[in-house]
Structure 1
Amino acid sequence: MASCSCSILLPLLLVFLVIHPSFCDDDTQSLIRDICRQTLDFTACNDIFQKNLPSPRTNVVGLAQITVTQSLLFASDTSIFIHRTKEGERDKTRRDLYTICEEGYSVIMDLFEEADRSFAQGNYRDVVDLEHQSTRPINDCGTNVKINQELIDKNRHMALLVNMGIVGQRIPACDEAFEANVADAITGAKTFVSHAGRAR
C-alpha cells in the first residue's frame, strides 16, 4: 500500500507544482525574458520555453521542469549521435576524441536522471547542484572535439539547456516561491491520495 501511494503521489506532486499559482505566474513571458537575457543565447532559450510550455500561465516550477526534461532528452539523443558517429569513424585519433564526448554524455545522462528524480521529490537545490556538475563534461567535450560541426552545435545546445536551468533559480523571489509551492503541492497531493483512498 505504501509503495502504491508513493507511485501515485510523485506524478500528482508534479501536476500540483506546475499548476499551483504563485506571484511569478502573472507574467510567464516576463519571467522567460528575465531568464533568457542571462543565458548564452536569448533567442534559442526563448524558443525552447515557448515550444514546451504546458500552459500559458506556467510558473517558475514549470519552467524548471522544462529545462530538466529537455536536458535529459537532448543528452540521450546526443549520446546516441556520438556513439553512431564514433562507430563510423576509422581514424583512431578521431575515435579517441569521440570517446571523450561519449563518456562525458554518459555522465550527463546519469546526472539528469538523478536531477529528474530530485525534481519530482521537490529537492530543487539538488537539481541545481547536479546541473552545475554537468558543465564539466560538456566543456570537456567542447574543448576536445572540434572535428564535427554537428556535434559542436549539439554540445553548445546542451550547454544552453543547462545554463537555462542554472539561471532560472537565480530569479529574485522565485526560489522562495518554488519552495512554498513544493510545500503546498506536497500537502495537496497527499490530500488527494488520502481522499482517493477513502473513496475506495
Structure 2
Amino acid sequence: MASLFTSYLLPLVLVANIFNFQTSLSDTRADEALIAGICRQVQDPPFCLNTFRKILAHPYVPEEVTRATIAQSLQNAENNHAFIVAAKAATKDKETKDLYAICDVGYGFMITILKDAAQSLAKKNYVVLENDLSKCPRFVSDCQNALGSKTTPDMLDRSRKQFDLLIMSKAAEALIKK
C-alpha cells in the first residue's frame, strides 16, 4: 500500500517542483526586465543595477521598487546635504559659501519633497507622488548650475548619482498600475 501511495505521490511532487521552478524562473526574468528597463533610462546603468541589487529583494513589483528608490534617493539627498553643509562651513571664500547656500536650500527642499513622496506612495496618492518626483531634479540642477566652475569632482559624482536615483524613482513610479 505504501509503495502504491509513493508511486502516485512522487510524480506529483516532481511536477509541483518543476512548476514552481519554472514560475520562479519566469518571475525572475520579469523582475530583471523591469529593472533593466528602468536602468536604460539613467546616465550610469551599472550604478542603477548595483543599487537595485543592494536595496531590493524578489519579487520586484513597481510599488516596492518605487518605495525603495525613493528611500535610497532620500538617503542620498540627506548625505549630499550634509556634505554641502560641511563644504559651506569649510570654505573661506564668501562667493563659494553663497553658492553652497543655494545648494543647501535646494537639497533641503528636495529632502522635504522626497519625504512627502514617500507618504504619498504609502497613501496610494499617485498624482501627488508623480508631482513630487517631477520637482526633485530641478534642485540638483540648480545646485550644479550655481556651483558652475567651482563644482568639485566629488560634488559632480554626488549630483550624477542623485539624478540617477531620481530618474529611477520616477521610472518606477510610472510603472505603477493606477
Q: Does residue 49 of the first structure (1) align with residue 52 of the second (2)?
A: yes
TM-score (norm 2): 0.78
Secondary structure of 1:145's match?
helix
Alignment partners' CA distance in 1, 2:64 and 2:27: 11
Write out per-residue CA displacement over residues 3-27 of structure 1, whole angstroms, 9 at most, x where no aligned residue.
xxxxxxxxxxxxxxxxxxxx98762
The residue that corresponds to 1:143 in the other structure is 145
Alignment partners' CA distance in 1, 2:173 and 2:114: 16
Write out per-residue CA displacement over residues 102-149 of structure 1, whole angstroms, 9 at most, x where no aligned residue.
010011011011111111111233212101111211111111214222
TM-score (norm 1): 0.70
The residue that corresponds to 1:40 in the other structure is 43
The residue that corresponds to 2:10 in the other structure is none
Structure 2 letter corresponding to 1:160? D
The residue that corresponds to 2:86 in the other structure is 84
Alignment partners' CA distance in 1, 2:126 and 2:27: 17
The residue that corresponds to 1:165 in the other structure is 169
1:151–1:24 Cα change, 3 Å = same
**Post-superposition shift, 1:40?**
2.1
Alignment partners' CA distance in 1, 2:139 and 2:122: 24
- Which residue of 102, 105, 117 corresponds with 2:104? 102
Structure 1 alignment gaps of length 5 or more: 1-22, 180-200
Write out per-residue CA displacement over residues 148-197 of structure 1, whole angstroms, 9 at most, x where no aligned residue.
22112111111111111112234xxx432xx3xxxxxxxxxxxxxxxxxx
Secondary structure of 2:176's match?
helix
What root-mean-square deviation, in Å, do the aligned CA atoms of Structure 1 and Structure 2 show?
1.8
Secondary structure of 2:91's match?
coil
The residue that corresponds to 1:18 in the other structure is none
Structure 2 alignment gaps of length 5 or more: 1-25
1:39·1:167 contact (CA, 8 Å) conserved in 2? Answer: no
Runs (4 or more) in structure 1 with deviation over 3 Å come to 23-26
Write out per-residue CA displacement over residues 66-96 of structure 1, whole angstroms, 9 at most, x where no aligned residue.
1110111111111111001110100101101
1:143–1:167 Cα change, 3 Å = same
Alignment partners' CA distance in 1, 2:162 and 2:35: 18
